[in-house]
């Protein structure tokens, strides 16, 4: 069995992509309040700063900064995924492997993480997360997607409200 190496640096900032097992599902937005509650509860026990987060129907992207001396993002994801799944009705069909592992069949087992290297890398990953609903055709403008930290960033003056206004601008490079 392969052993995946994860970059772990205490107090660092990371970009994550976490997917549902069923990529055609809308489970994350359908149960957005439960997801938010789960993240809040996890942060109260295992603090981290949310730099950016966007939730799409079947996956999410986020940028977190961990506390000084702490590199255990894996624990946080385990808690979030488990607590979210535990509170959903058991409607999914499980494979033998999932049953033997005590899994719910909601999440992909692994997730993608990237250790942020510098300010440019940070900005690119936050922009990528915020553009994602536009990329997937879920909205015509980034500001129209409700499940995104983009709105918080606009309020803080990080982005203008019309940033990355539409797909045409995004693909031609005319967007801010």
Query: Residue 174, SS3?
Result: coil
The DSSP output letter for 102 is T
Positive or negative CA dihedral for 153, 154, 155, 160? positive
| Residue 18 bridge partners (DSSP) | 60
Q: Which residues are identified as catalytic?
A: 147
Give the whole-angstrom CA distance, residue 25 versus residue 5.
Answer: 29
Give the whole-angstrom CA distance, residue 58 versus residue 81.
Answer: 13
């Amino acid at each position: 069995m392969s052993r995946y190496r994860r970059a772990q640096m205490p107090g660092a900032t990371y970009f994550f992509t976490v997917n549902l097992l069923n990529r055609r599902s809308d489970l994350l937005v359908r149960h957005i309040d439960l997801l938010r509650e789960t993240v809040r509860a996890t942060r109260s026990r295992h603090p981290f700063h949310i730099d950016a987060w966007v939730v799409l129907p079947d996956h999410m992207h986020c940028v977190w900064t961990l506390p000084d001396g702490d590199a255990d993002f894996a624990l946080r994801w385990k808690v979030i995924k488990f607590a979210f799944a535990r509170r959903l009705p058991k409607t999914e069909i499980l494979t033998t492997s999932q049953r033997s592992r005590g899994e719910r069949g909601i999440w992909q087992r692994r997730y993608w993480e990237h250790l942020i290297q510098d300010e440019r890398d940070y900005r690119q990953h936050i922009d990528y997360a915020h553009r994602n609903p536009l990329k997937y055709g879920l909205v015509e403008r980034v500001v129209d997607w409700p499940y995104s930290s983009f709105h918080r960033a606009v309020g803080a003056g990080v982005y203008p409200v019309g940033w990355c206004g539409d797909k045409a601008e995004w693909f031609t490079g005319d967007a801010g």
